[in-house]
């Protein structure tokens, strides 16, 4: 089988593992920084097995984190507040 690759790049990234508790939930995140996504970061929610490429514009989008991470509004807001410190 012939494969048609759009790209196959190897890049060094910086990964930060963070665990913190909010009012009602614990958050276990892996945060990757790369030059590939125009200054945005990859945020992996290790508890929910979900990830997203996030920039400050995404954090300001109503309902975005709630949808991407399948979290209720109060939990998404705790996550949003933390991520605003990073981007």
pLDDT tens digits for range 31-81: 999 988 988 999 999 999 999 999 999 999 999 999 999 999 999 999 999
What is the structure's pLDDT at 87? 87
Of 1 and 26, more confident: 26
For residue 86, pLDDT beyond 90? no
Q: Closest Cα to residue 63, out of 80, 85, 46, 48?
A: 80
Reply yes or no on whether the pLDDT at 24 is more than 90: no
pTM: 0.89
């Amino acid at each position: 089988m012939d494969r048609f690759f759009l790209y196959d790049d190897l890049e060094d990234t910086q990964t930060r593992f963070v665990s913190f508790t909010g009012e009602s939930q614990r958050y276990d995140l892996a945060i990757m920084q790369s030059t590939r996504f125009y200054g945005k970061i990859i945020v992996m929610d290790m508890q929910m097995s979900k990830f997203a490429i996030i920039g400050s514009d995404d954090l300001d989008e109503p309902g975005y984190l709630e949808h991407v991470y399948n979290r209720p509004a109060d939990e998404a807001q705790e996550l949003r507040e933390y991520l605003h410190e990073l981007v």
